[in-house]
């Protein structure tokens, strides 16, 4: 790859223009808003349609050796971006957010931790079982295909895109395209199926979501009125802007420090691996682990330092979220723009089986497990875990807002605390990054047994510990009130 800085700049400008176009489309086309598709997904699909696998097959080649509407260096730049920008997303994840003690987190979010962990580890069980029983013997696929449900559904577009190099290093290049395809299926089906489930729950009296047909003007004004937290963040931003350092530069610098810390940690761990168990061609795991989950740990270290020295007033949660959100938007657009439709076509039946299996497991956890583990407001809290397990955290937040617009259940706080005990491991965390190397080294069956034990362990703990607190009548089951 020999792209210049100018060529990379052009590629970034094209993504920015497409994001602007996709936002305009969402404003002008109501059906796109009803699908709740993020602008980044719409923009990525637009560039995919204009690329070599769609329009490039039917139009004359405008650039040498580059079908479609974009030159080869733009496609190369887009291919490289996800693996770089995903580090920014995960490094910024916890910076600017208060990190409470483990006891506080557990008391508020313990049941959702159980549901989320059961959901994630179960995706490995379902995927690896499907791989060993069908996909490997029938379709002659790589056993690592069993990890794609968790990477694509629970991890989402960002994780799938960020692991492209790991797929390539392990000789499963088509896995990156399949994971991105699953992420797209997950986010669309998560919103659609989640909306259906909320309507069913409302009809059965399990939840009472507000309907906008009451007073749409009033609901709009309520949405536009800033909350106390948002107003506090706004005042904090004003204080920062009065300083000598530009606040955006300050926050980008903190993200850079987190990434450097993560790189040093990963390099140190990889050096230890090479000096010990991986010496003379031995077992290699950390050598294939990408940087982004370790950068997330770097972000936690930065935030702990900020809290230790009382610097919270200088770090804006809103600004940090915007940095991470912008990086994620560019990551998703670039990843979808370079998605290989040829690969999806070649593996259509395995792709379909993985999609159906992932959706079925998510629904099973929501309908059967969540009401037996979460003592109060199980649906409002469980639907968030379902949405997250089908694509991105935003999907979970969206579904929770639809089920409980005024957050009377406290689901948003519990969901937020759960992330601190969830993201570092699965859903794009350490095990998600290590799953492919582990399967390559130890085999799919060994990882399946490990994932099954953890799934059963979390489920048994949830049923025995939190299950005793679940009411046997009323809103604790699908029977409703």
Most confident of 196-205, 352-361, 414-423: 352-361
- The 10 Å CB-count burial string (b at 16+, else e) for 80-95 is bbbbbbbbbbbbbbbb
Residue 216 has pLDDT above 50, yes or no: no
Helices (H), 204-284: 216-224, 228-241, 247-275
Residue 17 has pLDDT above 90, yes or no: yes
Centroid of chain to Cα 288: 20
- Percent of the chain past pLDDT 90, that is, above it, reads 28
Considering the chain, what is the average pLDDT of its residues?
Answer: 81
Can you give the pTM of this predicted structure?
A: 0.71
CB 315 within 8 A of CB 106: no
Specify the higher pLDDT residue, 413 or 10: 10
Residue 164 has pLDDT above 60, yes or no: yes
Location of structure tokens 């912008």? 326
Most confident of 209-213, 261-265, 327-331: 261-265
The encoded tokens of residue 434 equal: 């290590």
CB 399 within 8 A of CB 198: yes
CB atoms within 10 A of CB 256: 14
- Residue 317: its pLDDT value, please? 84
- Assign 217 a pLDDT band (cuts: 50, 70, 90): very low
What is the average pLDDT across 182-198?
83
Residue 359 has pLDDT above 70, yes or no: yes
- Residue 234: its pLDDT value, please? 56
* CA-closest candidate to residue 157, choices 194, 124, 190, 129: 190
- Residue 335: its pLDDT value, please? 77
- Assign 130 a pLDDT band (cuts: 50, 70, 90): very high
- Assign 474 a pLDDT band (cuts: 50, 70, 90): very low
Give the integer Cα–Cα distance in Å for 462 and 382: 13
Chain segment 37-96, per-residue pLDDT in tens: 678 878 888 998 888 878 877 777 666 666 678 888 888 888 888 778 878 888 887 888
CB 384 within 8 A of CB 411: yes
* CA-closest candidate to residue 207, choices 372, 369, 373, 406: 406
Chain segment 234-271, per-residue pLDDT in tens: 555 555 555 545 588 889 999 999 999 999 998 998 89
Collect all residues with Cβ–Cβ distance below 8 Å to 268 and sequence separation of at least 6: none
Chain segment 365-409, per-residue pLDDT in tens: 999 999 999 888 889 889 988 988 886 666 676 677 778 877 677
Q: Report the DSSP beta bridge partners of residue 63.
A: 66
Location of structure tokens 């009382």? 310
Angle value at C-alpha 304, between 302 and 306, nearest 5 degrees: 70
- Alpha carbon separation from 259 to 98, 375, 425 (Å, rounded): 19, 39, 18
SS3 63: strand
Domain borders along the chain are: 5-84, 91-208+227-327+342-476
């Amino acid at each position: 790859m020999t792209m210049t800085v100018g060529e990379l700049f052009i590629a970034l400008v094209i993504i920015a223009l497409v994001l602007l176009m996709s936002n305009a489309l969402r404003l002008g086309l109501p059906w796109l808003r009803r699908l709740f598709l993020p602008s980044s997904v719409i923009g990525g699909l637009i560039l995919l349609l204009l690329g070599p696998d769609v329009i490039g097959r039917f139009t004359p080649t405008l650039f040498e050796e580059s079908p479609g509407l974009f030159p080869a260096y733009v496609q190369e730049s887009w291919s490289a971006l996800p693996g770089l920008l995903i580090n920014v997303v995960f490094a910024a994840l916890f910076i600017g957010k208060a990190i409470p003690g483990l006891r506080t987190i557990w008391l508020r979010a313990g049941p959702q931790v159980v549901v989320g962990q059961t959901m994630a580890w179960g995706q490995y069980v379902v995927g690896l079982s499907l791989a060993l029983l069908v996909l490997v013997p029938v379709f002659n696929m790589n056993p690592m295909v069993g990890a794609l449900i968790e990477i694509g559904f629970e991890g989402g577009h960002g994780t799938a895109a960020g692991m492209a190099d790991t797929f390539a290093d392990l000789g499963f290049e088509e896995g990156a395209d399949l994971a991105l395809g699953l992420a797209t299926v997950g986010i669309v089906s998560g919103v659609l199926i989640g909306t259906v489930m909320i309507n069913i729950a409302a009809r059965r009296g399990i939840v009472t979501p507000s309907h906008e047909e009451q007073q749409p003007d009033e609901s709009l004004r309520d949405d536009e009125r800033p909350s106390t937290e948002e107003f506090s963040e706004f005042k904090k931003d004003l204080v920062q802007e009065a300083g000598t350092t530009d606040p955006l530069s300050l926050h980008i610098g903190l993200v850079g420090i987190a990434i450097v810390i993560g790189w040093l940690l990963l390099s140190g761990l990889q050096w230890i691996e090479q000096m010990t168990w991986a010496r003379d061609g031995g077992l290699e795991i950390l050598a294939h682990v990408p940087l982004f989950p370790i950068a997330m740990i770097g972000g936690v270290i930065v935030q702990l330092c900020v809290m230790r020295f009382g610097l919270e007033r200088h770090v804006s949660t809103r600004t940090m979220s915007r940095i991470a959100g912008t990086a994620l938007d560019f990551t998703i657009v670039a990843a979808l723009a370079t998605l290989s439709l040829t690969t999806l076509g070649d593996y259509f039946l395995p792709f379909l089986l993985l999609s159906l299996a992932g959706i079925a497991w998510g629904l099973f956890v929501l309908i059967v497990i969540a009401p037996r583990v979460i003592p109060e407001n199980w649906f409002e809290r469980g639907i968030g875990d379902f949405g997250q397990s089908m694509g991105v955290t935003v999907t979970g937040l969206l579904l929770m807002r639809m089920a409980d617009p005024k957050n009377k259940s406290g689901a948003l706080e519990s969901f937020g605390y759960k992330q601190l005990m969830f993201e570092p491991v699965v859903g794009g965390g350490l095990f998600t990054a290590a799953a492919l190397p582990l399967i390559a080294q130890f085999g799919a069956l060994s990882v399946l047994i490990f994932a099954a034990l953890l799934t059963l362990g979390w489920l048994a703990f949830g049923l025995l510990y939190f299950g005793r607190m679940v009411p046997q009548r009323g809103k604790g089951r699908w029977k409703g009130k």
